[in-house]
């Protein structure tokens, strides 16, 4: 029965006519039923919905037009094919105008009706599938672009969509690699400022004085080295969004200046005495626990209240293991586009199970790095549990980087150790600097030197 091409009701007051059509349709894989009046046909449709209706037009009492109207009332998308006597083409045209799918003139060839019904039912199921697919996609990604179907990610995406239209500040909270920057870009791209600038600044990456002139600008000659006037990021982001990444690492003195700008809506660049109006949406992010930073005096409470209008908390990946297979799929697809040499890789079910169970201290970024690495090194191969175990072992029990086998000059050991720490935090220089207790700008400088 489930192989049926669909259920068709055949309605004709000449019952032998209807029965002949029904028998033919059954022989061709349909589930068909004959009715000898419009009334009986409509009752049959009410009793059990059909995929298509084939009805005679001219019948005593309830005619084909009535059947058409009743069927479409019960199910607007139902295809209704009208059978008309020769010479009744005008009423057939009227039926089409009222929503009939097609008409056939008696006497007709049975295979013509069969093909018509197959097509009508096929189109309808494609339409239904599309609707279902669109709904599924919408539910999986409600507004935001974060991949994941866990309740946590759905809530984040939903919140992104809701705040995108407003100008209130947003505070994005989450561990390293959870997608804080992605959320910020999403909110910007989803809102009315999408065509204006999205300006990002990492408050942990620059020394205080530099960060200050970056943010607020400076007038030429206002300090040694200020050879040119700089507008500052607030002015650059005017009309758009300013993303203050790692806000928890902003020095206290700058926090005070930032607060003033937020309160007055005006920026004053270094060395200038005029203030400039700004219209900037602020999105701030941090992996730090700002409440405890307030307690220890590292973060200003008044600034916190200003920024924390809409907090968006992204849960760590280990709390939403359901998302791991989906993210794997996502990064595989994206990686295949990025690395032309990588065809594709697959995972054994055991490998996926291990990845789902892993704690992911570097969160989504760590997973992304793992997939990219496999794409590059294991082209076209299947990733098995052993491969996953090997990588996890490398992450979790690394060799002692501070104790190399050979004897090395101190700077080389330092270099290696920094590389090792960076690797363990998924490349997050801010986190690495925190662990190493050095200024993040040192790491950024080193990064640049290493690259050049």
Q: Quick one: what does residue 383 bind among ligand ATP, Mg ion, none, with the CB cut-off 5 to 8 Å set by partner type?
A: none
Q: Does 368 bind ligand ATP (CB under 6 A)?
A: yes
Q: Which residue lies nearer to Mg ion by CB, 181 or 439?
A: 181
Closest distance between ligand ATP and the C-beta of residue 390, in Å? Answer: 23
Residue of 31, 181, 293, 322 that binds Mg ion (CB under 5 A): 181
The reply on whether position 23 binds Mg ion by CB under 5 A is: no
Q: Given its phi and psi angles, is residue 70 left (phi above 0), alpha (psi -120 to 50 degrees) or beta?
A: alpha
Contacts of ligand ATP in 137-156 (CB under 6 A):
146-148, 153
Contact with ligand ATP (CB under 6 A) among 143, 174, 191, 232: 174
Instruction: Using CB under 6 A, pick the residue from 62, 84, 91, 178 that binds ligand ATP.
Output: 178
Mark 402-437 as b/e (b = at least 16 C-beta within 10 Å).
eeeeeeeeeeeeeeeebeebbbbbbbbbbbbbbebe
Note whether 70 and 42 are within 8 A (CB): yes
Shortest CB 341 distance to ligand ATP, Å: 21
Find the binder of ligand ATP among 18, 173, 182, 204 (CB under 6 A): 182
Query: Site map for ligand ATP, 316-355, x if CB under 6 A?
Result: --------------x-------------------------
Q: Is 12 exposed, middle or buried (0-12, 13-18, 19+ CB in 10 A)?
A: buried
**Closer residue to Mg ion (CB): 68 or 172:** 172
State how far the Cα of 421 lies from the Cα of 428, in Å rounded to an integer: 9
With CB under 6 A as the contact rule, the residue among 179, 248, 316, 335 that binds ligand ATP is 179
The window from 31-39, 46-54, 55-63, 180-188 that contacts ligand ATP (CB under 6 A) reads: 180-188
Pairwise CA distance, residues 114 & 281, whole Å: 61
Q: Is 434 in the site for Mg ion (CB under 5 A)?
A: no
- For residue 174, the partner it binds in Mg ion, ligand ATP, none, with Cβ less than 5 to 8 A by kind, is ligand ATP
The single residue among 55, 176, 213, 238 that binds ligand ATP, judged by CB under 6 A, is: 176
Which residues, 6+ apart, have CB-to-CB distance to 318 below 8 Å?
Answer: 358, 359, 360
Shortest Å, Cβ 196 to Mg ion:
21
- In the shown chain, the binding pattern of residues 380 to 419 toward ligand ATP, with x for contact by CB under 6 A and - for none, equals ----------------------------------------
Residue 366 in the binding site for ligand ATP (CB under 6 A): no
Number of residues counted as binding Mg ion (CB under 5 A): 1
Instruction: With contacts defined by CB under 6 A, name the span among 20-28, 260-268, 360-368, 391-399 that binds ligand ATP.
Output: 360-368
Q: Does 204 bind ligand ATP (CB under 6 A)?
A: no
Strand order in the sheet with 170-173: 198-202, 241-245, 281-286, 170-173, 310-313
The interface partner of residue 147, options being Mg ion, ligand ATP, none and the CB cut-off 5 to 8 Å by kind, is ligand ATP
Does 187 help bind ligand ATP (rule: CB under 6 A)?
Answer: no
* Cα Rg of the chain (Å, integer): 33
**How many residues bind to ligand ATP according to rule CB under 6 A?**
18
Provide the minimum distance between the beta carbon of 352 and ligand ATP in the complex, in angstroms, as a whole number: 17
- Binding residues vs ligand ATP (CB under 6 A): 146-148, 153, 174, 176-182, 287, 330, 364-365, 368, 428
Residues in contact with Mg ion by the rule CB under 5 A: 181
């Amino acid at each position: 029965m489930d192989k049926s091409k669909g259920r068709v009701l055949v309605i004709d007051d000449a019952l032998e006519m209807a029965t002949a059509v029904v028998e033919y349709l059954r022989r061709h894989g349909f589930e068909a039923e004959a009715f000898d009046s419009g009334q009986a046909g409509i009752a049959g449709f009410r009793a059990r919905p059909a995929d298509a209706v084939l009805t005679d037009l001219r019948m005593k009492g309830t005619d084909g037009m009535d059947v058409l109207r009743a069927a479409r009332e019960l199910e607007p998308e139902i295809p209704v094919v009208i059978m008309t006597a020769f010479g009744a083409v005008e009423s057939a045209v009227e039926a089409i105008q009222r929503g009939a799918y097609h008409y056939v003139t008696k006497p007709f060839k049975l295979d013509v009706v069969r093909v018509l019904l197959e097509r009508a039912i096929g189109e309808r199921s494609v339409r239904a599938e599309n609707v279902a697919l669109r709904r599924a996609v919408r539910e999986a990604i409600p507004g935001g672009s974060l991949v994941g179907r866990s309740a946590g990610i759905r809530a984040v995406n939903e919140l992104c969509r809701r705040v995108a239209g407003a100008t209130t500040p947003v505070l994005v909270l989450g561990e390293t690699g959870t997608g804080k920057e992605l959320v910020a870009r999403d909110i910007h791209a989803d809102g009315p400022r999408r065509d204006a600038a999205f300006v990002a600044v990492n408050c942990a990456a620059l020394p205080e004085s530099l960060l200050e002139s970056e943010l607020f600008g400076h007038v030429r000659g206002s300090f040694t080295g200020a050879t040119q006037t700089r507008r500052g990021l607030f002015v650059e982001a005017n009309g758009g969004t300013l993303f203050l990444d790692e806000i928890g690492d902003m020095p206290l003195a700058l926090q005070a200046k930032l607060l003033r700008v937020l309160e007055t809506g005006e920026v004053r660049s270094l060395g200038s005495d005029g203030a400039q109006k700004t219209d900037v949406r602020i999105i701030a992010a941090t992996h730090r626990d700002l409440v405890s930073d307030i307690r220890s005096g590292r973060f200003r409470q008044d600034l916190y209240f200003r920024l924390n209008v809409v907090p968006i908390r992204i849960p760590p990946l280990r709390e939403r293991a359901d998302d791991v297979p989906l993210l794997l799929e996502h990064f595989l697809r994206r990686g295949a586009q990025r690395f032309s040499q990588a065809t594709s890789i697959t995972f054994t079910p055991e490998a996926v199970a291990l990845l789902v169970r892993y704690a992911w201290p570097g969160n989504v970024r760590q997973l992304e790095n793992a997939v990219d690495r496999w794409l590059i090194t294991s082209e076209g191969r299947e990733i098995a549990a052993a491969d996953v175990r090997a990588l996890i072992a490398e992450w979790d029990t690394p060799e002692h980087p501070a104790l190399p086998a050979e004897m090395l000059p101190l700077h080389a050991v330092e270099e290696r150790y920094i590389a090792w720490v960076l690797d363990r935090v998924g490349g997050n220089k801010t986190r690495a600097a925190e662990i190493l207790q050095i200024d993040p700008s040192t790491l950024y400088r080193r990064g640049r030197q290493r690259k050049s």
